[in-house]
Amino acid sequence: MIKSCVTIALVPQIKSGPWIFWEDLEAGMAKASKLGFDAIELFTASADAIEVPRLKDLLDQYKLELAAVGTGAGKVIHGLTLTDPDSEVRKKAISFISDMIDFGAAFGAPAIIGSMQGNVLPGNDREETMSWLAEGLNQLGKHAESKGVTLIYEPLNRYETNLLNTIEAGSNFMDSLETKSVKLLADLFHMNIEEGNLEESILNWGKSIGHVHFADSNRRPMGFGHTSMKEIASALKTIGYAGYASAEAFPYPNPDAAAEQTIEEFRKWFK
């Protein structure tokens, strides 16, 4: 069964990003719980921004799971990516993500590599850059496996990365890795820009999908854009997807209304 999830971001530097709840962890969790969400997805500044016992207590109290932890702060705050031409920066990126894997693993949750994948930078060789990406993912995938979790890699749209933009490209790249512990994030907003047909991509490469970001075509909460969820929901059920549909969407028109809209749409398509 597909499970519902809502994002909570606690990183001031990404305040204008596509996250439903902001700043106050407990207030966001209380609202998520009241609306009946199964889980939260967290974006924190670092792996030690929240103490594990405190988060465990809060998850128990509000009867929520931790679905995943984002690593974007590594890029936004520290400028780290897995494909930086400077090997010292790549090493620090691996270390930052590795710590996030440990943090998530304390809750059985995977870490997500989104913006920390980076780009082929001007003047750099694509093949060499992709080999850095493979190196990082192999190392981190093995680390995740040793902690009993997967690692999630997210194909992003062309305005955010020039590495891998589609589910097909992501799936083929994952197949080429030594590690089998890296799964793809199907972010419906990015897919709306890059895929020829979202439903077909899910059906064709569904084996690689480990997490879903649930946002409409304009990155507003589902139902506020022109994505046709009927076929997408049907494709996710056909592939037997049993992970989270996590609302990584703009808090439009405000966080509370965005969360309500999301859970209504979730129930419409997945219950």
CB neighbours of residue 108 within 10 Å: 12
Give the C-alpha separation, 22 to 214, whole Å.
Answer: 18
Among 248, 259, 262, 269, binds Mn ion (CB under 5 A): 248
Which partner in Mn ion, ligand LER, none is near 115 (CB below 5 to 8 A by kind)? Answer: ligand LER
Q: Is-contact 113 154, C-beta < 8 A? A: yes
Only one of the segments 3-11, 47-55, 65-73, 184-192 lies at the binding site for Mn ion (rule: CB under 5 A); that segment is 184-192
- Long-range (24+ apart) CB contacts under 8 A made by 54-57 are 55/25, 55/107, 56/106, 56/107
Closest CB to Mn ion among 187 and 216? 187
Q: Closest Cα partner for 239 from 199, 180, 194, 266?
A: 199
Closest CB to ligand LER among 160 and 264? 160
Q: Residue 68: phi, psi to the nearest 5?
A: -170, 160
119 contributes a contact to ligand LER by CB under 6 A: no
Closest CB to ligand LER among 30 and 225? 225
Only one of the segments 47-55, 82-90, 111-119, 134-142 lies at the binding site for ligand LER (rule: CB under 6 A); that segment is 111-119
Give the C-alpha separation, 235 to 203, whole Å.
Answer: 6
Residue 31 CA, distance from chain mean position: 21
Among 111, 156, 174, 245, binds ligand LER (CB under 6 A): 156
Closest CB to Mn ion among 168 and 248? 248
Q: Compute the least distance from the CB of residue 170 to Mn ion, in Å.
A: 13
Among 187, 195, 216, 265, binds ligand LER (CB under 6 A): 187
41 contributes a contact to Mn ion by CB under 5 A: no
Give 15's contacts (C-beta < 8 A, 6+ positions apart): 9, 22
114 contributes a contact to ligand LER by CB under 6 A: yes
Binding residues for Mn ion, total number by CB under 5 A? 3
CB neighbours of residue 58 within 10 Å: 18
* Residues labelled catalytic: 154, 248
- Going by their DSSP bridges, the two strands 182-187 and 151-153 should be labelled as parallel
- Interface ranges with Mn ion (CB under 5 A): 187, 213, 248
